[in-house]
Chain A
Amino acid sequence: MVDMATAISTKNLTKVFRTATKEPGLKGSIRSTFRPSVREIHAVKGIDLEVERGEVVAFIGPNGAGKSTTIKMLTGILYPTSGEANVLGFVPWRDRESLSYKIGSVFGQKSQLWYHLPPSDTFNLLAKIYEMDRGEYGKRKDFLVQAFEIGPFFNQPVRKLSLGQRMRCEIAASLLHGPEVIFLDEPTIGLDVVARQNVRQTLKRWNDEEKATVFLTSHDVGDIEYLADRVIIINHGQVVMDDKVKNLKYHYLNKKIVDLRVSGEVKLPALEGVKIVKQAKSGLKLEVDTEVIDINAAVSHILKECEVQDISISDRPLEDIIAAIYQREEVAP
C-alpha cells in the first residue's frame, strides 16, 4: 500500500543492460556471428527512493551514473531487471497509459515539438492526446504561455527558435495537461548561460505557483542550487548521497572555481579563502571558499591586483563533489 503523501517510491530498483560485443578483425566477426558474446552493464544497482508530493528533488550524477535509466524506469519507458517502483500509486511499466495522464516529462535530448510547425500546433495536438476539454485547454495554454513568456514566438515554426526558446516551449508543453509529477531530464543541456538561467527562473516561477512534484536530473550543479530542495546523488548506479540542498551547499558547494586569463606576470597577494590551484604564464585558476570570503569580494580583489583579459566563474565539477563525498564518508566513522 502506498502512502498518499508519497509521489515516488522505489525498492531495490535494478537495471542491467545486455549488450552484444564483437571482437576485432575478420576472425572475431565470424566468431561472434556464431557465438555472440554478451556484456552486462549494471546501470542501476538496487536504488531505494522516497519522494514526497510537492518536493523538488534533484537527482544528479556524472555521465553514465544511471540517472536517466532511473528516470526512464519511473516514467514507464524501461522495464527494470528487478525491484519495485511506484509513482502516484501506479507501477510505471505496467500502468503506462494510466500514469501518463498524471505525469509530464521533458527529455533534454528528445524534443516533442514538431520541428517544422509552430509550438501552438504541438500544443493543440497534446491537448487532444491528453483528451482535454476545449475550455480547460484554453485556460491552461494561456497560463503557460504567460508563465513561460513564450507568447512572442508561439506561432513561429520551431526550427526558427533558439535553443532556449525551444526548451521553454518544450517544458510548457509537458505541463499542459497539469501533471502531478514532472520529470525533467537534463532540461538545461546544451543551453548557454543566459538561456540556462532563463529556463531555471521560469521553472522556479511556475513551481512556486503550482507546487507540483519535480524530479530533476542534471549534471549542472547550478540547476540544483537554484531549483531543488533536496538532492540525491547517484554514481555507478548507486545512491551516494541523499540530503537537503542547503547541506550540500554547506559541505560541498562552498567553493567556486575562478578561471582568469591575464596579461603580464601576476603576483597575487595571499588572501584568506582564495587558493591558487594552477598558474601558467597568462592564466590563473583559483579556488574561492565562499564560506570564508564572498565571491564578489574575492573577484574585486583579483581585478584590483591584475590586468584581467577574461574571467569565468564556475561551480566545482560534479565529479569533484562526488569524490569529496566519498572522502568524507571514508573519514567519517
Chain B
Amino acid sequence: MTEVGRHRQGASWSKKIAKYVEMLRITVLTDLAYAYDMLSRQLFLAVVMFVFVKLWSATYRWEGAVSIGGYTMRQMLWYLALTESISMSTPRTAADIDDDVRSGSLAYSLTKPYKYPWFLYAKHMGKALVGFSGSLIIAGAVVWIAVGPPPVTALSCALGLLTALLACTLDFWAQVAIGLSAFWIEDGSPYRLLYSRVKMLLGGMLLPLELFPDVLRRVVAFLPVGQIYHGPVKTFVSLSLHEFVGTVAKQVLWTIVFIALAGAVYKAGVRRVNVHGG
C-alpha cells in the first residue's frame, strides 16, 4: 500500500470547497489562454450596441421625453449594454451536460471525489466571469463614448453584483435541469433553444420589463426568466431597495426549485449511465 493512499473523507469543509474554487480558477485560466480570440469574437457586440445607440437616440428625440418607462437614455443604453453582455457571455452549460451524458464524460467524472453538478457550477461561473468581463469591455466602450459613464453608485454596484451572482446561479441550475434530460431524450436542442429564446424575449434582454404590457410584465416579473437579465441589471442602473429585495427573494426561491429539480433528475439519471466498452 502506498504511503499517501489513505482515505481523506474526514477532510475539512475548506478543503472540500477548495476543489471547486480551483476548478473555477482553472476555467478562468483556460478561457484567458484565448483572450484575444474571445475579444475578437465579441467585436460583433460593438455593432449591436452601435445600432442600439442610434435606435434609442432617435426614439428619445422623437418622443421628446427625458425618460421612457422610468429610464433616462443613459440608463437605457447601459441597461442594454449589461443585458447584451450577460447574453453574450452566458455559458452553454446545458449543451455541455448533454454532450457529457452522450459522450460518457459524465460517467468518467464519477470516478473522482467531487460532485459533478457543483464542479460544473464552478466551471459555469468561471466561464461567465471571463466572458462577461470581455463583453462588457466592448459594449461598455461603445455606450460610454455615446452617453458617458454608467449611472451607478457604490451601493448599486455592490447589490447589482450580488443579484448578478444569484442570476448566474439560477440560470445555471435551470440549464442543469434541461441538460440532464439527455438521459431520457434523443435530442435536447429544442428545449435548450426554447429556454434561451424565452429568456431573451421575455426576460428583459431587449427591452426593460417596464415597457411590456402590464399583464405580461406582472407575470414575467415573477417567473425565473425575469430574474436573470432584468433583476440584476435594473439593480445596477436604477436601484430601488424594495425591488432589490423582491428580486433576491425570487432568485433564491427559483434557484431552490431548480436545484431540487436538477437533483432529482441527476439522481434518477445517473443510474442510466451507459458507456459501452472502449
Contact = CB atoms under 8 A, between A and B. Distances in A.
Contacts of A178: 2-6
Name the 6 nearest CB pairs between A and B, nearest first: A178-B4, A68-B277, A178-B5, A178-B2, A68-B278, A128-B22
A101 B8 CA distance: 7
A291 interface: no
Given A109-B278, A178-B5, A180-B5, A117 B112 contact: no
A116 B30 contact: yes
Contacts of B30: 114, 116-117
Main secondary structure of the interface of B (DSSP, over half): loop
Contacts of B114: 129
B276 to A, nearest CB: 7
A48 B235 CA distance: 63
B277 A102 contact: no
A41 B6 CA distance: 38
A72 B275 contact: yes
Interface of B: 1-9, 11, 15-16, 18-19, 21-23, 26, 29-30, 33-34, 104-105, 107-108, 110-114, 271, 273-278
A185 interface: yes
B33 A121 contact: no
Given A78-B273, A117-B33, 19 more contacts: A53-B1, A63-B277, A66-B277, A68-B276, A68-B278, A77-B110, A97-B113, A109-B278, A117-B26, A117-B29, A128-B21, A129-B114, A131-B8, A131-B18, A136-B4, A177-B5, A178-B5, A179-B2, A212-B5
B2 A64 contact: no
8 contacts: A68-B276, A76-B111, A96-B111, A116-B30, A124-B26, A125-B26, A140-B4, A178-B4
B172 to A, nearest CB: 20
Contacts of B4: 132, 136, 140, 177-178
A157 B29 CA distance: 12
Contacts of A117: 26, 29-30, 33
Given A77-B107, A117-B30, A128-B18, A108 B3 contact: no
B7 A98 contact: yes
A66 B6 CA distance: 30
Contacts of A189: 278
Interface centre among B2, B3, B15, B29, by most chain A C-beta atoms within 10 angstroms, is B2
Contacts of B110: 76-77, 96
B34 to A, nearest CB: 7
A242 to B, nearest CB: 20
Contacts of A179: 2, 5
B111 A75 contact: yes
Contact of A116 (B16, B19, B34, B112): B34
A202 to B, nearest CB: 17
B2 A180 contact: yes
A102 B16 CA distance: 17
A43 interface: yes
Contacts of B8: 101, 130-132
A79 interface: yes
A288 to B, nearest CB: 32
A129 B277 contact: no
A326 interface: no
B26 A121 contact: yes
A128 B19 contact: yes
A73 B26 CA distance: 30
Nearest to A136: B4
A9 interface: no
A316 to B, nearest CB: 22
Contact of B276 (A43, A101, A185, A210): A43
Interface in A78-129: 78-79, 96-98, 100-103, 105, 107-110, 112, 114, 116-117, 121, 124-125, 128-129
A100 B7 contact: no
A130 to B, nearest CB: 6
Contact of B278 (A157, A185, A212): A185
Nearest to A212: B2
Given A109-B278, A110-B104, A129 B112 contact: yes
A69 interface: yes
Nearest to A126: B112
B9 A101 contact: yes
Interface string A187-231: 001000000000000000000001010000000000000000000
Nearest to B34: A116
A212 B15 CA distance: 26
A171 B46 CA distance: 46
Contacts of B276: 17, 41, 43, 68-69
Nearest to A92: B111
B278 A125 contact: no
B19 A131 contact: yes
Given A67-B277, A68-B277, A101-B8, A125 B22 contact: yes
Contact of B275 (A78, A96, A121): A78
Nearest to B115: A97
A170 interface: no
A186 interface: yes
A97 B11 CA distance: 13
Contacts of A157: 33
B5 A131 contact: no
Contact of A131 (B1, B15, B23): B15
